[in-house]
Structures are given as C-alpha cells and as structure tokens.
Amino acid sequence: MKSQLGADEAKALLKAQVNGELPDERGRFGPFGGRYVPETLVPAFDKLEQGVREFLHEEEFQKEFRRELREWVGRPTALSYAPRLSERWGTEVWLKREDLAHTGAHKINNAIGQALLAKRLGAKRVIAETGAGQHGVASAAACARVGLPCSVYMGAVDIERQAPNVDRMTRLGAEVVAVESGDKTLRAAIDEALRKWVSDPAGIYYLLGSAVGAHPYPYLVRELQSVIGQEARQQMLDQAGGLPDATFACVGGGSNAIGLFYPLLGDDMELIGVEAGGTGSGLGQNAATLATGTPGVLQGSYTMILQDDDGQVQETHSISAGLDYSGVGPEHALLQATGRVTYLAASDDEALDALEELCETEGILTALETSHAFAAAREWSKDNPGKRILIGNSGRGDKDMPTLTKYPPRIRQHASS
Amino acid sequence: MPAHERLTAAITAANQAGRPALVPFITAGYPEPGEFINTLKSVASVGDAVEVGIPFSDPMADGMTIQRSSHAALSEGVNLEWIFSELEMAGVLGTPLVMMSYLNPLLAYGYDRLAERARATGVSAFIVPDLPYEECAELREALEAEGLGLIQLVTPATPRERLETLCDASRGFVYAVTITGITGGDTGLPDDLADYLDDVAAVSKLPVCAGFGIRAADDVANVGRHASGAIVGSALVEVLEEGGDPKAFLQSLGGK
C-alpha cells in the first residue's frame, strides 16, 4: 500500500479535508485509515457506522450533546492569556484550558458524546480501554451520567502504575478488568476490549478513547473533539483580537490535537503536533510515531506505527502514559503526508522542564502529556519572537503526582531566592 | 493446477474417503524453532492440509493459547523469512500448507515477494484474520498471480448477501467461524451450528471448513456432518505447550 503523496495529490487531499470531505466512504484519509477488522467484528462496525450516520449530526442528538457539554462538562473551557510565560518566551502565549473540563482533560468530550450515542444505539453495556486511566475515568463518569454499566479494560502494568485512577473508576461505578496479555499496557487493553466486543457485538458498545483504530472511530472522535478548536478559534478572535501564528498540541493517539487542529486547518497558521521523544530516537526509546515510524496496519487502521523490519509492533517509552502508544490516528498520518501539520518530538526531560516552567509562571500544573506541547512551543518561540501562539492545554497534571515526586524540582526562582 | 486448487482437492479427497478433512493449526517455531519442521511433518502426516501461523505482536482475533505461542515464537526470533527458508530446506511435503498471518507482517515483507516465496515453498493459500473483504483486493491479486488463494472467513453473524460475496471470493476453501468470539474459547460449539454450516455449504461452491472451538473427536464428527472439514487450532497448540504428541492427539480426533 502506498503512503507517499505527489504534490498535486497532497494539495487536493488537503482541500478535501478542509472542506469536510474526509474520511471518504471507505473510511480513508487519503491512503490512510480504512477498516482492518476481523470478519467477526464487521457487523458491529457496520452497526456503529450506521448509528454515527443516523445520529451524530441529527438535531436532537446535537442538542443533547451540547447541553451535556455546557451543564455537565463545564464548556466552553477558558482561553487564558499567559503573561509571565509570554514575557519569558518573547511570544504572545494563549492557552486553551481543557484541564478545566470535568474529570480534568479533553477526554470527557468524546466520552460523553459516545455514551449518548451508545444509549441511542440501544446498547446494554459499555466497554472502554484505558492506558493512564484518563479515558477510563471519563468513560466511567459519562456512563454513570447516562446510566449504562461500564467495564474498563486496563493493562496489568498500568493498573499498578495508575492506582489512584483505578480507584476513581471503581468509585464512579465502573468495573476495571485487568489485562494480562501482550505488553499488559494500552495496546493489549485495546486488543482485549475488541475481543470482548466480538463476544456480544449487539449488546456491547465499545467506547474507544482516541482518534485511532478502524473507521468510523477516527472520524467519530474527531467530530466529538472538534469543539476544542471551534471554541478556541472564536475565543482567539474575541480575546486576542486575531488568530495565532502557530498552534501546538501534544499527540499520542491524537484526539486532542485533531480536535484543536481540525477547525483551524483552513486558516493561515502553522500547526505543530508534538510527540513523545522519550529518552532517544531509537526503536523502543520513544513513542514518536510520526517522527520516527513507518506505515503499517495496527488495530484496524493503516497509519504510521512503530515497528521492526518484520512488521512486528514495538513497545514504546514515554514518561507520560497518555502518549505511550505505538500507533497514531490515521488523519494525523495524512496531515503529515500533506505537510499541513509539522510533527516534532520533545524528550522526557524537555517535558519535565516545561511542566515546571508553566507551574512557576502561570500557576498551572499541566499534564505530562501536555508538557510536550509546551516544550516544543518554547523552542519555536526562540526563533519567532513577537509572534502569537496558541497551546492546547489538554489536561491537568494532578494525576501525574506519583511520577513527578520521583523527580526533584529543577527550577527554583521564587520570590524567596 | 493453481496451488489453491490442490488445497481444494485435498479437502475433497478426504470427503471421498468418507471422513471430514482435518486441518491442524500450529504456530511456526513453537514451542521450539529447532523442532518446527519435525512438528510440521508429524502434523502433516495426519492432517489433510496444515495451517501454519505466522507469529504477530498483536494477535487481536486470538485467545490466550495462541497469543502465548505467538509471543514465545517471536521472542525466539521467528519471522517470515526464517519460516520460508525452513520450508525450503524441508522440501515438498505433499500436504498443502495454508499460512495464517495478520496483515502487518505481510505488508512489511512485500506482497509480490511474499507470493513468489510462498508458492516456491509449497504454500497454497493465506488466511488473514484482520483483512476483511473490502480491504483485500491488493493482496488477493498478488497471491492469485502466483496461483495462491486468499481464504475468506464467514461467521454466524454474516448477513446472507455478504456470505455470497465472501464465498465467491474465497479460494481453496471457505473458513466458517463457528462462534461469535475469539479462538480458544471454552464455551463449546453452539446448538444452531448445524443450520449455520448447512447454510454456508449451500451457498459455497468450495468446500467449507469449520474452525474455532473444535477440541475433541466429537466436535470433529459433529462439524463433519455439516461441513467438509474441521480446523483444530488452540487445542493442538495446548498439546504442544504441554509437550504432548501432536500426531497421537490428531489421530484421536480422526485424522488420516
């Protein structure tokens, strides 16, 4: 299968994307995407696809979704000017505050949207996968809200690393199922959730947490997360008096990034996605799928993945569990191929530094995932003084305290010094 | 005769001898890479065709038994090229081989090279569990150019019209998944299995082999009344895992 695009083809695909024509009817974003699922799952995906077509843009559904976003999630989330960070970086820095959304990250936008969809489709129960636990918590909360039982599949390794989130999910009424197969992390949890779905495709709704996997998930998740970019665009016009010169978001599977970027694709600005550079550029040292991966099929989608020469998917490393995934959403693979979005990597150390700088200058403890976007924005600012930038502050960092306590604070520039 | 027709003929020959064809599945290089060809030959002496599983890091359609064997083989360095060279050294077996692989290792190997190497080493057909019909044209063409078949899977949940499409597109045989689930389940075969298999057999021009959940002689006999053959995967891999004799086990299931 091809993955390289000619110049004319890239231009045509970008135009189609801006016009809302992608994915096509086969779930393709240019060469990427599609639906590579076992025959046993085909009826389940067909049913989901039909449900998405029927309900997602229907007026009643949208009204209910918007009401839940407003009254339960707490949207619109704020757009914050960052004066002290701006002064330090020499650029005008604005933050889209998804950390202020209910349960502490953008994940809830997708979770409540899909939970409402599950209800419409007549599902008896919901299953979800989770890595760090954020999507699991969001799913547990959303299912409690709509009144559906929820089981969250989570790798045994992650259960150990993310004990507080396991407790949160359980208290929110979800059953947490330990996955002992494969690498016992997110990838294995997705495989196990799919296996469970196969056993009862009619009664179960699978609430996937990122813009990855087989069609229609990358499309469905993008549509539910686009509220981030729609709000941010209007807020920039209202509060900053104009659109940014550059917009940054971190990319694991890529749901917060596609939600922020998608409504901005047609605007004249740089879009920069930031992946987890981990401890180095070697296979297994990072989760920088777009920056260092190659095209292949993983978990239902033709996209960029981290694999060896034999097509075996490799384990990843990142300090942030939410970016620690061997694949990436197929729409990001297209945005890279057309050149519309630039994808960079920030290392574990750079992310930690950026996290501390934001704490110190703006009083915001951001998530380790999000810190990667700040690290790249800081570097970009060095070469672009005076420009206006927007950063997707996708989640809050309270969940990262167990990790952060292992690293002594590096920056000590408070009033007392 | 294209290789996939030899596979069809081997299934039909078993039926003509008055028994359902037995198609054992082994994970290549499991439990010992050094024993691969011996295991294959011993299994091939009882089976009418042999399904050889290519290990993959993310076997999403498989249960724990085959997942474990797949990861064990990978950690021993088993890959497609190694499997082909082992098959090459072993020479022609006389029993048609079917390769079962998830798509990504095949993509990484390259379809054209794959089809040539497979034909040259006695492979008749491929089963690719994460490649649904809608996405399969490119691989199918590359395989058919070398006379190899792409076997389509059907399930109890497959709607009638789709069943016709899949049976038409299949080569070698049609793989009828017996249960809604993954391999290695312990739920037993469903009660309405007979009707389902009869439906598939009525639609398909090719022999139908049933797989998933076939663990005992009774299962093979039961399936054999309504399908041309039975595929035995997880139960055989368990025997290998426990160091048992695969040939004796397959004979107890009614192998040739």
**Is there a contact between B132 and A1 if contact means CB atoms under 8 Å apart?**
no
pLDDT at A408 over 90: no
Report in angstroms the alpha-carbon separations of B10 from A289, A349, B94, B115, B229.
45, 61, 10, 21, 10
**Residues A40/A311, Cβ–Cβ less than 8 Å:** no
The secondary structure element, H or E, covering residue A207 is strand A204-207
> How far is Cα B161 from Cα B176, in angstroms, rounded to an integer?
15
pLDDT band, residue A324 (cuts 50/70/90):
confident
B55/chain A closest Cα distance in angstroms: 9
**Residue B185 backbone class (left: φ over 0; alpha: ψ -120 to 50; beta: rest):** beta
Q: Write out the two tokens for B203.
A: 């639609």
Q: What CA–CA distance (Å, rounded) separates B122 from B87?
A: 8
Length of chain A: 417
SS3 A312: coil
CB A192: neighbour CB atoms within 10 A? 23
Mean predicted confidence (pLDDT) in B45-60:
96
Q: Is the Cα torsion angle A327, A328, A334, A339 positive or negative in sign?
A: negative
Q: Give, rounded to a whole angstrom, the gap between the first and last alpha carbons of chain A.
A: 59
Question: What would the mean pLDDT of A80-108 be, rounded to a whole number?
Answer: 98
What is the sign of the dihedral through the CA atoms of A136, A23, A231 and A55? negative
The residues of B that are catalytic are: 51, 62
Count CB atoms within 10 A of the CB of residue A413: 10
At A415, the pLDDT band (50, 70, 90 cuts) reads very low
CB–CB of A336/A288 below 8 Å?
Answer: no
- Residues of A numbered 169-188 whose beta carbons fall under 8 angstroms of chain B's beta carbons: which are they? 181-182, 187
Closest CA to A346 of A338, A337, A355: A355
pLDDT value of residue A200: 86
For the segment A129-155, the average pLDDT, to the nearest whole number, is 96
Same fold, A27-69+108-222 and A74-105+226-404: yes
**pLDDT of B15:** 97
What are the structure tokens assigned to A380, written together? 């970009």
Q: Do B105 and A26 touch (CB under 8 A)?
A: no
Which domains are delineated in chain B? 3-247 (3.20.20.70)
Give the span between the Cα atoms of B71 and A108, in whole angstroms: 35
Domain ranges for chain A: 27-69+108-222, 74-105+226-404
What's the pTM? 0.96
Nearest residue on chain B to A25, judged by CA atoms?
A: B134
d(CA B130, CA A375): 38
pLDDT at residue A267 is higher than 60: yes
Mean pLDDT on A392-415: 81
Q: In terms of DSSP bridges, do strands A150-155 and A125-130 run parallel, antiparallel, or are they unpaired? A: parallel
- A417 vs B213, more confident: B213
Asked if A129 is an active-site residue, the reply is yes
Q: How confident is the model at residue B186 (pLDDT cuts 50, 70, 90)?
A: low
Query: Beta strands A92-97 and A294-298: pairing type?
Result: unpaired
Query: Which fold does the domain A74-105+226-404 belong to in CATH?
Result: Rossmann fold (3.40.50)
Task: Collect all residues with Cβ–Cβ distance below 8 Å to A362 and sequence separation of at least 6.
Answer: A80, A82, A84, A85, A95
Q: How far is CA A177 from the centre of its chain?
A: 22
For the segment B65-94, what is each residue's pLDDT rounded down to a tens digit?
999 999 999 999 999 999 999 999 998 789
Question: Could you give the percent of chain B with pLDDT greater than 70?
Answer: 97
pLDDT score, position B182? 67
Distance from CA of B168 to the nearest CA of A (A): 15
Looking at per-residue pLDDT, the higher value among B192 and A243 belongs to A243
pLDDT of residue A417: 40
DSSP 8-class letter at A262: G
Judge whether residue A384 has pLDDT over 70. Answer: yes
Q: Is the pLDDT of residue A25 over 80?
A: yes
Confidence at A132, pLDDT banded by 50, 70, 90: confident
Say yes or no to pLDDT of A15 above 50: yes
Q: Percent of chain A, pLDDT > 90?
A: 86
Asked whether the beta carbons of B197 and B20 are under 8 A apart, the reply is no
Q: Is the pLDDT of residue A416 over 80?
A: no
Check if A196 is active-site: no
pLDDT of the residue at B184:
66
How many whole angstroms separate alpha carbon B77 and alpha carbon B86? 13
Write down the catalytic residue from A49, A92, A96, A107: A107
- At residue A146, φ and ψ (nearest 5 deg) are -95, -5
A283 CB near a chain B CB, below 8 Å?
Answer: no
To the nearest whole Å, the CA of B10 is away from the closest chain A CA by 25
Q: Which of A129, A223, A231, A331 is catalytic?
A: A129
Please report, for residues A359, A361, A417, B128, the alpha-carbon distance to residue A414 in angstroms, rounded to integers and kept in the order given: 11, 10, 6, 60
For residues B139-146, average pLDDT: 98
Q: How confident is the model at residue B185 (pLDDT cuts 50, 70, 90)?
A: low
> Which amino acid belongs to residue A410?
R
CA-based nearest residue to A232, from A259, A268, A272: A259
pLDDT at A409 over 80: no
Q: Is the pLDDT of residue B158 over 90?
A: yes
The CATH classification number of A27-69+108-222 equals: 3.40.50.1100
Q: Which residues contact A388 (CB under 8 A, 6 or more apart)?
A: A91, A92, A94, A240, A242, A244, A245
